[in-house]
Amino acid sequence: MATSDKEIVKEIPRKSERFSDWYTAVLLKSDMVDYSPVRGCMVVRPYGWAIWEGIQSWLDREFKKTGHQNAAFPLFVPESYLKKEAEHVEGFAPQVAWVTHGGDDELGERLAVRPTSEAIIMPMYAKWIQSYRDLPLLILQWGSVVRWEKATRLFLRTTEFFWHEGHTAHQTQQEADDECRLILDIYKRLLEDVLAIPVLTGRKTDSEKFAGADWTYTLEALMPDGQAIQAGTSHFLGQNFAKAFDVKFLDRDNTEKYVWTTSWAVTTRLIGSLVMQHGDNRGLALPPRIAPVQVVIVPIRHEQTPAVLARARALAASLGEGVRVKVDDRDEFTPGWKFNDWEMRGVPLRVELGPKDLDKNQCIFAARDGEGGKRAVSLDGFAAAVVAELDAIQARMYARAKSYLEAHVVTPRSLDEAIEMIKERQGFVRVPMSKDQRAEEALRDASGGSPRVVTDEPAAGACLVTGAPAEMIVYYARAY
């Protein structure tokens, strides 16, 4: 863009120099969130929530297409229920918030504020499932959960966070695993096609899997500071919860069997990833498919030239329901101020329209991702030009993120090199390893990173840590 961003966007630190400060400033200045009086809890303001609504509505369509139904389960989990699955309670116990009183009366049994809802949903499934004809049961709920965190960061880790959690029960192991993969694919399309965040997908190592799961599928993105972020998970729970909560069904062969269950989630953390992935020194940059405002039309000198504003409104209307457009007719700001303001808020496409443009039957397009510069576009065929531009911006943003990811998957030749690469946050460090838990721990301890994902690519050669035959490819990174 024409002007140096240093002069234009005040009060936002440079992304490359002070990444954490930049991140916080962008969220606050764009009015996405604010701090609340409650420690570790944030307020999601309308602009931030609109992004979440975009994620919700896209996922809702996909979930319904695949036969899932929404429902709502209690916020509270009686302590005795939470304790039924041993590994599960052990994993979550340190982070549980407890309700001990109702009014002035001490409760007979403490209630956990749900850190996740398996323990309150499974007992219901036990009631509802009698026969194989009741399966599969495909339910999710949208809501929030609470995990008591020691250190919090806006969107990335807060005490309360918003998510959906899917909980399904199936007749066979295969069917449950297929469900996990189906969900993983939906998440992958959400991340890549909508949010323009490329991901690596695969499984977690045993040490990183969900507490109570047999295995966990994960999506891992790479942020511009070289740190990985878990973008979503899909857990194959085997029969662990079925056994703990006695969820059985009578199969075709007239024998009683435990169901196979899954659970899966993405959270408002995705919004944090979105901001980090695409933002720049000027503030937010949102991919068109998720931007609450996709196009802003800034009329120039419209107070002196009423025809400008009238035409701006007509153009906005011509875009129809399919495009989220706003005409910025505020008279208290100059055009230049509005340009900066909307750029800071990440609006993908700005259209400038002034008296000179009207004379020439044109307007000016300025794409937020900066690669288009400014260009004149004829008002004939305006709507089609806008749609094409939004598609182009979406594609460019994904391509840029994708090439960043690809450039930051690095392959070490030795253990020492792997440790250095992880420490230096070079990205996803690709390590052939044996399945020996001690190898995993050794690299974790030495590097300060963690195993993020095991892809399904075949392993060859020797384990980089132990020298034994490699059995899997593990991608290590420092992580959020």
Partner RNA sequence: CGGGGCGUAGCGCAGCUCGGCAGCGCGUCUGCUUUGGGAGCAGAAGGCCGCCGGUUCAAAUCCGGCCGCCCCGACCA
3 state SS for 466-480: CCCECCEEEEEECEC
Report the site for RNA in 219-248 (rule: CB under 7 A): 230, 233
Q: What DSSP string describes 129-174?
A: --BGGG--EEEEEEEEEE---SS-BTTTB-SEEEEEEEEEEESSHH
Closest listed residue to residue 300, CA positions, set 374, 210, 399: 374
List, in sequence order, every residue forming a beta bridge with 222; answer none if it has no partner: 228
The minimum distance between CB 223 and RNA, in angstroms, equals: 12
Question: In the set 149, 175, 192, 436, which binds RNA (CB under 7 A)?
Answer: 149
List 117, 158, 171, 277, residue binding RNA (CB under 7 A) = 158
Tell me the C-alpha distance between 436 and 439, whole Å: 6
> According to the binding rule CB under 7 A, does residue 353 interact with RNA?
yes
Report d(CA 368, CA 169) in Å as an integer.
44
With CB under 7 A as the contact rule, the residue among 62, 73, 76, 95 that binds RNA is 95
Measured from the CB of residue 21, what is the shortest distance to RNA in angstroms?
5
Close Cβ partners of 162 (under 8 Å, ≥ 6 residues apart):
44, 52, 142, 143, 144, 267, 268
Residue 108: exposed, middle, or buried by beta-carbon count in 10 A (0-12, 13-18, 19+)?
Answer: exposed
Nearer to RNA, 90 or 391 (CB): 90
- Identify residues 34-93 at the interface with RNA (CB under 7 A): 35, 39-40
> Contact region for RNA (CB under 7 A) — 79-87, 168-176, 264-272, 413-421?
264-272
Closest approach, Cβ 9 to RNA, in A, equals 5
Yes or no: say if 96 and 112 are a contact pair by the CB < 8 Å rule. Answer: yes
Q: For residues 42 and 272, what is the distance between their CA atoms, to the nearest angstrom? A: 13
Helix (H) or strand (E) holding 80: helix 79-82
CB of 270 to RNA, least distance (A): 9
Residue from 334, 384, 456, 458 binding RNA (CB under 7 A)? 334
Using CB under 7 A, which of the segments 129-137, 186-194, 327-335, 456-464 binds RNA? 327-335
Least gap, CB of 463 to RNA (angstroms): 22
Q: Which residue's structure tokens are 């929030």?
A: 144
Q: Which is nearer to RNA, 152 or 455 (CB)?
A: 152
Nearer to RNA, 151 or 460 (CB): 151
467: buried, middle or exposed (CB in 10 Å: 19+, 13-18, 0-12)? exposed
Which of the ranges 319-327, 334-342, 404-412, 413-421 carries the binding residues for RNA, by CB under 7 A?
334-342
- Measured from the CB atom, the residue of 229 and 459 that comes closer to RNA is 229
Phi-psi region of 392 (alpha: psi -120 to 50; beta: other; left: phi over 0): alpha
Q: Footprint of RNA on this chain (CB under 7 A)?
A: 1-3, 8-11, 19-21, 23-24, 35, 39-40, 94-95, 147, 149-159, 161, 210-211, 230, 233, 265, 267-269, 282, 300-301, 303-304, 331-337, 339-341, 343-344, 350, 352-357, 363-364, 366, 374, 448, 479-480
